[in-house]
């Protein structure tokens, strides 16, 4: 079960072996400490030998220093090992997640993936933390001390044994309750922060629909839930501590009663009794540790399961074993009887095909336009061209090479997409423009910014290319974002361009301004342009009209207008 974690731990095996050795020595030293007390009381005090007293105390202090040094090494190096292991695990999990198929992200909740990467991994971390090692160490102490006190006085050891299960049960019951209450409180905290996040991102919606009270009530509900669970945990803690103290006093009382009897009967020395009490006290912390260990194991098993669950999801969109680089493109992209239905994440209903038996060509160095009603499958087709999804049937050929035979990275490097929702990364304007070409010089960036008609805008920004955009930076308008996306695509310099409503967010003036730049961009390239505004596809070499996932018409603007069919209807609906 923990094989995966332990293979990681074994990478640091020398640290681990060193730690275990140190731990064993610490256990022995801890075991010896009460012997000094016994020796002083029984041997040194009766003889009134001060020299021996100083020597014994000196030795005891020396042992304490050695114990402290061991403790330092064990805590520090175990901490190093635990951090190495966890960092490896975290990086590996991130790497696996980022390489998953698009469908994986559409069917998982962002929050859930985040929790697996953070809290779940942290839970595993406590399994290999310095605490855990010392917990295991105290198990050794427990067994050793227990055998020893039986050996010294079995009657007293038996009396101690009566209180141990009681203590174990109390620890187990209360710790479980406390943990569960805290877990539920944490769940409520997560809901609170979700609600807070929603409020911050949807504040305009909330204000315009005057739903402040409704949202405040929701927040208060989660806050109250958090309070109730935390209060419940506090109650359990308040009862737990006095109970444990009482059991301890009970144990000490029994030992004192029996011990005094044996001392009076001369079957035990006073030093022996004092040492005995110290040994019995040493049993208490392993019981605590043991219950903690059990809880920790439970939690770690749950987290481990959740981590393994995602790490076992295999992406299906991968390089074929005999994949070839993208061909030296000069002829056409050919879509042949392509059909595709989005996978249904709930797997309860059959999925409706978004693309049905679609066939058409996108010739080299020409502009092909894709038009159709909303939901007719235009974006889906572009996702298939970039292999974000694989076709259910049919094929897409790039100069005759089937899409699945082309190396994935090479395919995507040859296609630049400017999509409807422009994604901005958290960084500067420069970072955003050169996202696909990190080596690009500022000169080159200025060139593409000029072509995308965003150069003046950037020049007037307070820090020019250095201006922060994205979540923590300044807000850009839809049109500005799109022009940055166009600059980004220009810099990528791919032979194939897909423009998905690239000009939708631009006003007429800006649209005209960048039309020239777009024309430049498209001239030497093969392009597929999706546009709702039919004025932008007038000049396309060929227009494909899609309806309900099927090609219903193809031809130039003039030809399709003359047909008085689907395209004409779309056109008239816009311009009449």
Ligand X SMILES: Nc1ncnc2c1ncn2[C@@H]1O[C@H](COP(=O)(O)OP(=O)(O)OP(=O)(O)O)[C@@H](O)[C@H]1O
Distance, CA of 335 to CA of 357 (rounded, Å)? 9
Quote the least distance from Cβ 208 to ligand X, whole Å.
Answer: 23
315-343 in b/e form (b: 16+ CB < 10 A) is eeeeeeeebeebbebeebbbbbebbbbbe
Which of residues 367 and 383 has its CB atom nearest to ligand X in the complex?
A: 383
Quote the least distance from Cβ 497 to ligand X, whole Å.
Answer: 17
131-148 in b/e form (b: 16+ CB < 10 A) is bbbbbebbebbbebbbee
Quote the least distance from Cβ 354 to ligand X, whole Å.
Answer: 4
Distance, CA of 298 to CA of 276 (rounded, Å)? 34
Counting residues that bind ligand X (by CB under 6 A) gives 11
Identify which range of 12-20, 62-70, 308-316, 373-381 contacts ligand X by CB under 6 A: 373-381
Which of residues 372 and 495 has its CB atom nearest to ligand X in the complex?
A: 372
Relative to beta strand 427-428, strand 468-469 is antiparallel
Quote the least distance from Cβ 534 to ligand X, whole Å.
Answer: 13
Helical ranges in 49-129 per DSSP H: 50-98, 102-107, 110-115, 121-127
- Please report, as residue ranges, which positions from 98 to 157 form the binding site for ligand X (by CB under 6 A): 106
Identify which range of 2-10, 244-252, 328-336, 369-377 contacts ligand X by CB under 6 A: 369-377
Quote the least distance from Cβ 1 to ligand X, whole Å.
Answer: 35
Which of residues 350 and 374 has its CB atom nearest to ligand X in the complex?
A: 374
Among 332, 378, 414, 434, indicate the residue that binds ligand X (CB under 6 A): 378
Distance, CA of 146 to CA of 161 (rounded, Å)? 9
- Please report, as residue ranges, which positions from 416 to 475 form the binding site for ligand X (by CB under 6 A): none
Among 377, 396, 487, 497, indicate the residue that binds ligand X (CB under 6 A): 377
Which of residues 325 and 478 has its CB atom nearest to ligand X in the complex?
A: 478
Quote the least distance from Cβ 560 to ligand X, whole Å.
Answer: 18
Which of residues 137 and 377 has its CB atom nearest to ligand X in the complex?
A: 377
Identify which range of 279-287, 315-323, 374-382, 515-523 contacts ligand X by CB under 6 A: 374-382
Give kind and range of the element (H or E) at residue 340. strand 332-341
Q: Could you tell me the two tokens for 269?
A: 């020395």
Among 272, 372, 479, 495, indicate the residue that binds ligand X (CB under 6 A): 372
Distance, CA of 332 to CA of 164 (rounded, Å)? 80
Q: Could you tell me the two tokens for 516?
A: 């020239």
Which of residues 379 and 468 has its CB atom nearest to ligand X in the complex?
A: 379
Which of residues 380 and 428 has its CB atom nearest to ligand X in the complex?
A: 380
Quote the least distance from Cβ 526 to ligand X, whole Å.
Answer: 20
Among 374, 439, 460, 524, indicate the residue that binds ligand X (CB under 6 A): 374
Q: Compute the radius of gyration of the chain from its Cα atoms.
A: 36
- Please report, as residue ranges, which positions from 343 to 362 form the binding site for ligand X (by CB under 6 A): 354
Distance, CA of 448 to CA of 443 (rounded, Å)? 9
Which of residues 325 and 375 has its CB atom nearest to ligand X in the complex?
A: 375
Largest CA distance in the chain: 122
Identify which range of 34-42, 368-376, 465-473, 508-516 contacts ligand X by CB under 6 A: 368-376
Whole-angstrom CA distances from 158 to 11, 147, 151, 276 are 44, 11, 11, 13
The total of other beta-carbon atoms located within 10 Å of residue 510's CB is 18
- Please report, as residue ranges, which positions from 284 to 343 form the binding site for ligand X (by CB under 6 A): 342
Which of residues 272 and 372 has its CB atom nearest to ligand X in the complex?
A: 372
Which of residues 8 and 378 has its CB atom nearest to ligand X in the complex?
A: 378
Question: What character string, x for contact with ligand X (CB under 6 A) and - otherwise, covers 77-96?
Answer: --------------------
Identify which range of 257-265, 378-386, 423-431, 480-488 contacts ligand X by CB under 6 A: 378-386
Quote the least distance from Cβ 428 to ligand X, whole Å.
Answer: 30
Distance, CA of 514 to CA of 395 (rounded, Å)? 34
The SS3 call for residue 362 is strand
Site membership for ligand X, residue 375 (CB under 6 A):
yes
Which of residues 286 and 372 has its CB atom nearest to ligand X in the complex?
A: 372
For every residue of 374-440, DSSP letters joined together read: TTSSHHHHHHHHTTSS--SEEEEEETTEEGGGB-HHHHHHTEEEE-SS----SEEHHHHHTTT-TT-
Contact positions vs ligand X (CB under 6 A): 106, 342, 354, 372, 374-380
């Amino acid at each position: 079960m923990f094989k995966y974690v332990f293979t990681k731990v074994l990478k640091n095996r020398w640290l681990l072996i060193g730690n275990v050795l140190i731990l064993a020595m610490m256990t022995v030293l801890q075991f010896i400490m009460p012997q000094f007390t016994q020796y002083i009381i029984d041997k040194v005090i009766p003889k009134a030998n001060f020299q021996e007293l100083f020597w014994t105390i000196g030795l005891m202090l020396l042992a304490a220093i050695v114990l402290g040094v061991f403790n330092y090494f064990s805590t520090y190096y175990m901490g190093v090992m635990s951090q190495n292991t966890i960092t490896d695990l975290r990086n590996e999990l991130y790497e696996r997640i980022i390489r998953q198929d698009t469908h994986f992200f559409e069917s998982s909740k962002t929050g859930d993936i985040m929790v697996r990467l953070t809290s779940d991994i942290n839970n595993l971390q406590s399994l290999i933390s310095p605490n855990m090692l010392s917990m295991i160490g105290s198990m050794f102490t427990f067994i050793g001390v227990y055998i020893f006190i039986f050996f010294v006085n079995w009657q007293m050891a038996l009396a101690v044994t009566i209180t141990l299960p009681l203590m174990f049960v109390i620890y187990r019951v209360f710790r479980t309750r406390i943990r569960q209450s805290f877990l539920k409180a944490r769940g409520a905290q997560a809901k609170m922060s979700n609600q807070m996040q929603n409020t911050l991102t949807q504040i305009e919606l909330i204000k315009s629909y005057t739903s402040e009270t409704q949202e405040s009530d929701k927040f208060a509900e989660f806050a109250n839930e958090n309070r109730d669970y935390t209060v419940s945990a506090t109650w359990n803690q308040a009862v737990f501590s006095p109970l444990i103290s009482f059991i301890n006093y009970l144990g000490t009382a029994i030992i004192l009663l029996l011990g005094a009897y044996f001392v009076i009967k001369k079957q035990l020395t006073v030093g022996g009794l004092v040492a005995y009490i110290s040994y019995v006290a040493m049993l208490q912390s392993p019981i605590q540790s043991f219950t903690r260990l059990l809880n920790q194991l439970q939690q770690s098993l749950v987290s481990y399961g959740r981590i393994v669950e995602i790490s076992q999801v295999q992406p299906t969109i991968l390089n074929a074993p005999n994949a070839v680089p993208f061909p030296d493109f000069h002829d056409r992209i050919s879509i042949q009887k392509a059909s595709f239905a989005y996978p249904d994440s709930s797997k309860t209903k059959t999925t409706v095909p978004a693309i049905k038996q679609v066939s058409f060509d996108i010739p080299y160095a020409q502009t092909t336009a894709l038009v159709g009603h909303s939901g007719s499958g235009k974006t889906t087709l572009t996702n298939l061209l970039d292999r974000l999804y694989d076709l259910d049937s049919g094929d897409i050929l790039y100069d005759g090479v089937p899409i699945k035979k082309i190396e994935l990275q090479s395919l995507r490097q040859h296609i630049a997409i400017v999509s409807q929702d422009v994604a901005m990364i958290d960084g500067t304007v420069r970072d955003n423009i050169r996202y696909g070409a990190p080596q690009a010089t500022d000169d080159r960036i200025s060139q593409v910014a000029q072509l995308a008609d965003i150069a003046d805008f950037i020049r007037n920004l307070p820090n020019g290319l250095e201006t922060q955009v994205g979540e923590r930076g300044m807000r850009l308008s839809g049109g500005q974002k799109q022009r940055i996306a166009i600059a980004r695509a220009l810099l990528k310099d791919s032979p194939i361009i897909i423009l998905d409503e690239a000009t939708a967010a631009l006003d007429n003036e800006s649209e005209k301004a960048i039309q020239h730049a777009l024309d430049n961009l498209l001239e030497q390239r093969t392009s597929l342009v999706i546009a709702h505004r039919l004025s932008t596809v007038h000049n396309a070499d060929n227009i494909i009209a899609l309806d309900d996932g099927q090609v219903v018409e193809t031809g130039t603007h003039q030809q399709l207008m003359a047909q008085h069919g689907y395209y004409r209807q779309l056109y008239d609906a816009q311009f009449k």
